[in-house]
Amino acid sequence: MTLRVVPFDALDALVRDREPVDSETLARAARIVDDVRVHGDEAVIRYAQEHDALLEGEPLLVERPELERALDAVSAEDRALLERTAARIRRFAEAQRTGLEPVTVPIDGGRAGHLVAPVERAGCYAPGGGYPLPSSVLMTAVTARVAGVSRVIVASPRPRPIMLAAAAVAGADAFLRAGGAHAIAALAHGTATVPSVDVIAGPGNRWVTAAKKLVSGRVGIDMLAGPSELVVLADSSADPALVAADLLAQAEHAEDALPILVTHEPQVAEEVSREVAHQLETLPTAAVARVAIAAGFTVLCATEEECFAACDRLAPEHLEVMTRDSELASRRLAHYGALFIGAGSAEVLGDYGAGPNHTLPTGGSARYTGGLSVLTFLRVRTWMRLDDRPASRGLAADAAALARIEGLEAHARAADRRR
């Protein structure tokens, strides 16, 4: 099996109409969300028993003491691994938070500014389908805690002990044993058991994405993330075996994952394809990876400049640069969720807690948004205080004049009273 080759000119047709969720899933998820909104715990339990292996009588919500017991029960090696990874994520998030300071500026007659404040409650979703993803628990919940969120609830279906242990390490207050649209609906609307939250963040399948789209506005969300993507920009200086390994690491995520190679050298495309086929022969997850590889492709460009344009047109979730001067090439790229510069900077190291978050925009949405960060859980709130009326008269006069241009006389009169 090899990566099919497409010319640069065909790229627009391949990336056009990339939507995070299809209309049929959205419609079906809407019925689930509405069911949970109306029937609360009864609906969540029904769906969780049907889809998430929740046992009869098993509590939906695991509270903090049980999370700590789960942490105590894992091996010393696993606990140390979770704690090291959490520390790296925390260090990066703390640096982000430190850079977000209150602002005060003088204005006519007084001062104005902004305060940066966390939301009170956050729901952190972690996928739990084919593979348990404690890394996603750490990425979301640690970041929420660093932002200053008071109550953090993790949600994931069929949680294995390592997931509960990760939630404990991350500082979560509780764990919702449910996934999919019903978990998102419970977090957004609240039930007798599950408190409603202010922000929902974290990656998930199409049902999670559809539900996040439906509840957005009632609660904040991080993004609408579709299938995971990796673009590797490579030239003949790159090791074909390394490029192939990274593409396959992406491909084993799910059958709809999208591995892409971008190069302007035909021999690179040929060598990487041979390596992909060779490595697939011994890959335990080959059944999934083969499907993703079949949907992936190589963009064969005419020049290096065309390669940069192709990467920017794709605006991928993950972008690896393996070229002769990776640093210089990286400065030519404008649109990506996360950038990995040089052969040593594997995307998988970012996935597993080097520091930056692995919850990232997909489907070209990196053109207008970034990945999950402390900003996801923060609000910028402005304030104003005018104590010097003579100094603020010009401001009041201008406000009154603009209000009258807009036909809002009560606004104008309220401003006039400050003159």
Residue 372 has phi, psi (to 5 degrees) of -65, 140
Q: What CA–CA distance (Å, rounded) separates 231 from 143?
A: 26
- List the catalytic residue out of 229, 271, 317, 320: 317
Distance CA 244, CA 265 (A): 16
Rounded CA separation 246/65 (Å)? 39
318 belongs to the catalytic site: yes
CB 262 within 8 A of CB 232: yes
Active site residue 317: yes
Contact, 171 vs 140, CB < 8 A? no
Angle (nearest 5°) at CA 101 between 118 and 220? 30
Q: Which residue has the tokens 């940069």?
A: 308
Cβ 145 vs Cβ 176: under 8 Å:
no
Tokens of 122: 């956050």
* Integer CA distances (angstroms), 404 to 314, 393, 397, 411, in order: 47, 17, 11, 8
User: Which one of the listed residues 182, 264, 318, 358 is annotated catalytic?
Assistant: 318
* CA–CA separation, 269 and 299 (whole Å): 9
* Residues annotated as catalytic (active site), given as ranges: 317-318
